[in-house]
Amino acid sequence: MKDSLSRFLFDGAPVRGELVTLDQTWREVLARHDYPPVLRSLLGELMASAALLSATLKFNGALIMQLHGTGALRLMVVECNADLTMRATAKWEGEVRPMPLSELLGNGKFVITLDQQNGQAPYQGIVALEGESIAQMLENYMQRSEQLDTRFWLAADDKRATGLLLQKLPAGQGDPDAWDRAKYLAGTITQGELLDLPPREVIHRLFHEETLRLFDDHPIAFRCSCSRERVGNMLRMVGEAEVRSLIEEQGSIEIHCEFCNTRYDFDPVDVEQVFAAPISQPASDTRH
């Protein structure tokens, strides 16, 4: 199976759907950090949901989903760009045992940021921690904040992360029973089927008695936007005096990207070059 997102519409009914499969993209994330099993499942589900939500938007920028917690899970971040390139990371503290999401987070929060690259200020929404799964929390958020009936089915294991989205279109025309019927049919899918069956087979398995319009699949890939230039700009923002003080104490500065685990080393000569060069203006960075 390829990393892809499939979109479809119910013909003559106000319902649309998406199915995402993250294969190599997901394994690229897992290869960079050894996450506890509980966090692996959550991170995979969060990545799948970010891809699904991004595909419902028309924007040029990044959709950033962040879970902040005071429990064993301290931070989980997924960034999905408009071209469906993605990166993700998580931080935790102590032993992470199987437990409800609310206990993993403790006194936590769930934030969605739409960081557009057209000069507009970022949009940020707070997702209420209502429900014991990523899917339930997002469903409640979409209903209350966007007034859109939306359902998610998410699954992840060590090899693949997948997700199915159904959404009732606003002011839709056509078969009034289609939304309830689509939800019922989608609810028969198992996590094993989501993870093991090819995307088109999943769609056929669920909706073969419905008339659908299928669109071309959109590829998805892992991509981290970190670079030596961005790290140099970050050092400039820290300040020349503080950076030179660190160099005097340590001899060099080592910074590693939490998303892709790439390490950047700056020695005294590198630091001289950083502060001698004009600062560049790269695209907006992830906020976390």
CB atoms within 10 A of CB 196: 16
Boundary residue ending a domain (222, 240, 262): 222
> Is 150 in the same domain as 267?
no
Give the per-residue pLDDT at 1: 63
Residue 245 sits in a domain of what CATH number? 3.90.1280.10
Query: Is 285 among the domain residues?
Result: no
Q: Are residues 245 and 218 in the same domain?
A: no
Could you read off the pLDDT tens digit of each residue along the chain, which spans 288 residues?
689 999 999 998 999 999 999 999 999 999 999 999 999 999 999 999 999 999 998 888 899 999 999 999 999 999 999 999 999 999 999 889 999 898 999 999 999 999 887 777 788 899 989 888 999 999 999 999 888 999 999 999 999 999 999 999 887 677 888 999 999 999 999 999 999 999 999 999 999 999 999 999 999 999 998 888 888 888 888 888 888 898 888 888 888 888 888 888 888 888 888 888 665 554 444 444
The whole-angstrom separation of Cα 13 and Cα 16 is: 9
In sequence order, the 6+-apart residues with CB closer than 8 A to the CB of 22 are 3, 44, 47, 48, 51, 86, 160, 161, 162, 220
Please name the helix (run of DSSP H) or strand (run of DSSP E) that holds residue 45, with its range, or none: helix 37-54
Looking at the domain assignment, is residue 29 inside a domain?
yes
Residues 124 and 186 grouped into a single domain: yes
Stretch (H or E) spanning 85: strand 85-92
Q: What is the pLDDT of residue 284?
A: 45
Residues 45 and 138 in one domain: yes
Q: What is the pLDDT of residue 216?
A: 94
Domain that holds residue 145: 4-222
Q: Please give the structure tokens belonging to residue 163.
A: 């997700």
Domain boundary at 203, 222, 241, which? 222
pLDDT at res. 165: 98
The answer to whether residue 160 is domain-embedded is: yes
46 shares a domain with 28: yes
Report the distance separating Cα 266 and Cα 213, nearest Å: 53
Do 52 and 181 reside in the same domain of the chain? Answer: yes
Predicted local distance difference test score (pLDDT) of residue 6: 96
Which pLDDT does position 57 carry in this prediction? 87
Q: What angle do CA 65, 69, 74 make, to 5 degrees?
A: 85
> Which pLDDT score, from 0 to 100, does residue 252 have?
86
Domain containing residue 86: CATH number: 3.55.30.10
Q: Are residues 147 and 65 in the same domain?
A: yes
206 and 236 belong to one structural domain: no
The pTM score is 0.87
Torsion of CA 175, 179, 185, 189, to 10 degrees: 150
Question: How many folded domains does the chain comprise?
Answer: 2
**Residue 158 lies inside a defined structural domain of this protein:** yes
| Calpha distance 112→126 (Å, rounded) | 6
